[in-house]
Amino acid sequence: MTDKEPHRTDPFRWFQDWMAEAAASEPNDANAMTLATAAPSGLPSARIVLLKGVDEPGAARRGFLFYTNKQSRKGEELAANAACALLFHWKTLGRQVRVEGRVGDVTDAEADAYFASRARISRLGAWASIQSRPLAERAELERRLAEYEGKYPGEDIPRPPHWSGYRVVPEQFEFWQDMPYRLHDRTIFVRDGGGWKTGKLFP
């Protein structure tokens, strides 16, 4: 699809169209997204994570999936405040997508399946890294990795109990397209019961 085609009514479909174009044009990690959370005090924090799935039409809860150590700073903040925001920026296409919503846990089956798909060292790293905690020196991480390599010498590495995933269920989307003279095109979708209300924003 192009932006000259008829107005789209499903923001998930629009996102998937743009993601497919980004995957063909971005030099690295078209699925990279900024995840913004907030501490109970209100202090915000943001970091880049990787999108690992988007639910298909007909799913009970449609959302954006990512995986992490749930004892990390982002995990602790999401446990205290489920509201969050995502931002995709595809510079080569002059596009951004903003998503605002709330997280819920993925199922154990979803987490197990994705964990099993990761490289062996990444799976061991999920055990070795006490994510977001102070690290005196790099050698300590390497020592812990070696410890878990000894504990799990083969490919059969269980998923750590503190490692899982989240599903961000959107309440609002914004699709931003770069235009000449900073007269950008901005389209928003706001959840309205089982559907979406849509409109435009001034650039």
Q: Which two tokens stand for residue 130?
A: 């006490």
Domain boundaries, the chain: 11-201
Instruction: Fold for 11-201, please state it.
Output: Pnp Oxidase; Chain A (2.30.110)
Tell me if 11 sits within 8 A of 185, measured CB to CB. no
12: nearest Cα among 198, 178, 173, 176: 173
Average pLDDT for consecutive 10-residue bins of the chain (203 residues)?
60 97 95 96 96 88 96 96 98 97 97 98 97 95 97 97 98 98 98 94 97
Residues whose CB is less than 8 angstroms from the CB of residue 169 and which lie 6 or more positions away in sequence, other chains included: 61, 62, 63, 101, 102, 103, 104
What is the model's pLDDT at position 7? 56
Question: Can you give the pTM of this predicted structure?
Answer: 0.92
Q: What span, in angstroms and rounded, lies between the C-alpha atoms of 164 and 29?
A: 21
